[in-house]
Amino acid sequence: MAEVKEKKGTFVKTKEIFVDAQGRVAPQSVDFEEAVLGAMMLEAEAASLVLEHLHEDMFYKPEHKVIFQAISEVFATGGKIDLLTVTEKLRKNKKLDAAGGSYNLALLTNKVISSAHIEYHARIINEKHILRSLIEISSQAIREAYDNSTDALDLLEKTEQNLFEISEKNFTRSGETMPQLMQNFMKELEELQKSEEALRGVPSGFTDLDRITQGWQPSNLIILAARPAMGKTGLVLSMARNMTIDYKRPVAFFSLEMSAADLMMRMVSSETSIPIEHLKTGKLSQQEMLTLTDKMSNLTDAPLIIDDTAGLTIFDLKAKCRRLKQQHNIQCVIIDYLQLMSLGTKEAKGNREQEISTISRSLKILAKDLHIPIIALSQLSRDVEKRSTTSKRPQLSDLRESGAIEQDADLVLFIYRPEVYGLSFDDKESSAGLAEIIIAKHRNGRTGDVRMQFIAQQAKFCDIDKFSNYSASMATGATYSQLMNSEDGNVVTLQSAMNDDIVGDTNRFAHEQQVPF
């Protein structure tokens, strides 16, 4: 065997090839590499055909990696690619010898006649690179699997992440022509006309909000931001409930702050209108138990997946979302919240602002790849509290830690509850029990403000008209049992109100006791 020069992962390099411990040669296509490189230096159009599909690591021979890198640099600067310009670039970079010298470059151009079939040749190079990568990942997984100190789930997650990275790096989409785009548009328009649903995207379940957004659109990154205790988690939980129960849309909820058990308790409280305090202690009345039994089937059948993995990295999230898309065809992803995520790689060497920028950009790319909306919660800076007492309305500049969040997001929404600051709305209307959802950025539509009812006792949101309808039913003298047994079943009251005279102080009772569905 030839003298060993260096090791590269699973393979050992001899004079020209990589072989493994069993003497097997790594998958490679040197002839096709020579044909592609020679064609790129022979015809000007050849480079533009393959540069978006190949990168230097895909080449098997080290000399070919160096040559391809030089061709890419000439192309990037707008220069003309031929034998002379590539040779000069290698000479300036002091890599001509590493490329095999001028004679080797001349040989490459002499081995091809034209750039015909260059895209097919490039695809073969890509496929061989994928096979080598799969061997490397599999071998690494086998080595770590034999190590008794290896955590099985961590290894599974790491291997899955590496496999997805192969797909991301090696497969790119080509542009679509206008006839293709128009055909897809007309097909989508026809489907919308036939559909009973009036919304193009995934409904949030809030009437006025959906009227502006037309639902959460596929490939969109939606940022929902607010100061602490404004109800961010409550709002997205209400959305998740509406999406999964009312519209049967599978949703993945990633909670980096609260446990799955706590989120489940919140959802049960919201669905049954039983106070969280009662659920925590387990001291439920007979009527509350009946309500719980009656409403639990809604939650049991809901296509909602809750993941409360602590310290979730963006790479873990991407791997999990891809798997959930394949297994459950999830239609929306919710992340609570953005600032608790990390890169979890060696790339996280910059400051926190740079890290958040990378995460937000990765979320936008993931939304496009999976063709689903991603809703990410975000904290706001303390600048909101520093403003004058006349207005605490959040604005885009309040987004915490990175301006890239605003740049990457298709929609930016804020939750504003003047009641928290002891203020009224700008029109002097009472803010008790009300919240304003501010659509501050909407890349493909109009901005605006939407007011909702906020039920602090259940930390949930609902449309104002639903709450008003309930108040109206109280004014007619409806009793507790009548409301509990109404056909729509949309309103229940707390157990402590069973013997109250509901015709009494309607406004006070509505604000303090009543809980709309």
What span, in angstroms and rounded, lies between the C-alpha atoms of 185 and 206? 27
Residue 46 located in a structural domain: yes
Give the pTM.
Answer: 0.65
My answer on whether 375 and 434 are in the same domain is: yes
Q: Within a 10 A sphere around the Cβ of 310, how many other Cβ atoms?
A: 9
My answer on whether 237 and 142 are in the same domain is: no
Specify the pLDDT at position 63. Answer: 92
What span, in angstroms and rounded, lies between the C-alpha atoms of 376 and 226? 12
> In 3D, which of 241, 242, 275, 279 has the Cα closest to residue 458?
275
Residue 189 located in a structural domain: no
The domain tally of the chain equals: 2
Specify the pLDDT at position 175. Answer: 61
Confidence bin at 467 (pLDDT 50/70/90): low
Peptide bond into 337 cis (omega under 30): yes
**Which residues have C-beta within 8 Å of that of residue 424, sequence separation ≥ 6?**
418, 430, 431
- The CATH number given to whatever domain includes residue 444 is 3.40.50.300
pLDDT at 508 over 70: no
Q: Mean per-residue pLDDT for 460-486? A: 51
Specify the pLDDT at position 377. Answer: 92
My answer on whether 106 and 221 are in the same domain is: no
Length of the chain: 517
Boundary residue ending a domain (153, 170, 187): 170
Q: Mean per-residue pLDDT for 497-502? A: 31
pLDDT at 350 over 80: no
Residue 216 located in a structural domain: yes
My answer on whether 17 and 145 are in the same domain is: yes
Radius of gyration of the chain from Cα atoms?
A: 30
Confidence bin at 481 (pLDDT 50/70/90): very low
pLDDT tens digits along 177-208: 677 777 777 877 777 677 666 677 889 888 88
Could you list the residue range(s) of the whole structural domain that residue 78 is in?
A: 6-170
My answer on whether 336 and 397 are in the same domain is: yes
Residue type, 74: V
**Active site (annotated) includes residue 257:** yes
Q: Return the ∠ at Cα 354 (arms to 353 and 359), rounded to 5°.
A: 95
pLDDT tens digits along 32-71: 999 999 988 888 778 878 887 888 888 999 999 999 999 9
Q: Token pair 């659109």 is at which residue?
A: 217
pLDDT at 174 over 70: no
pLDDT at 485 over 80: no
What span, in angstroms and rounded, lies between the C-alpha atoms of 193 and 189? 6
Specify the pLDDT at position 21. Answer: 59
Alpha helices in 197-285 (DSSP H): 207-213, 232-241, 260-272, 276-281
From residue 267, how far is each of 79, 286, 354, 463 by CA, in Å?
60, 20, 35, 17
My answer on whether 88 and 207 are in the same domain is: no
Residue 454 located in a structural domain: yes
My answer on whether 161 and 296 are in the same domain is: no
Specify the pLDDT at position 349. Answer: 52
Greater pLDDT, 346 or 291: 291
For the ranges 18-27, 247-256, 352-361, the maximum mean pLDDT occurs at: 247-256
Confidence bin at 141 (pLDDT 50/70/90): very high
Residue 89 located in a structural domain: yes
Specify the pLDDT at position 480. Answer: 32
Mean pLDDT of the chain: 77
My answer on whether 48 and 138 are in the same domain is: yes
Specify the pLDDT at position 402. Answer: 59
Greater pLDDT, 1 or 223: 223
Specify the pLDDT at position 261. Answer: 85
My answer on whether 258 and 163 are in the same domain is: no
User: Residue 46: helix, strand or coil by DSSP?
Assistant: helix
Residue 190 located in a structural domain: no
88, 160, 165, 257: the catalytic one is 257
User: N- to C-terminal Cα distance for the chain?
Assistant: 76
- The CATH number given to whatever domain includes residue 104 is 1.10.860.10
What are the structure tokens assigned to 87, written together? 């040779």
My answer on whether 148 and 238 are in the same domain is: no
Residue 241 located in a structural domain: yes
My answer on whether 136 and 238 are in the same domain is: no
Answer yes or no: are the C-beta atoms of 340 and 254 closer than 8 Å: no
pLDDT at 131 over 60: yes
My answer on whether 163 and 296 are in the same domain is: no
Residue 314 located in a structural domain: yes
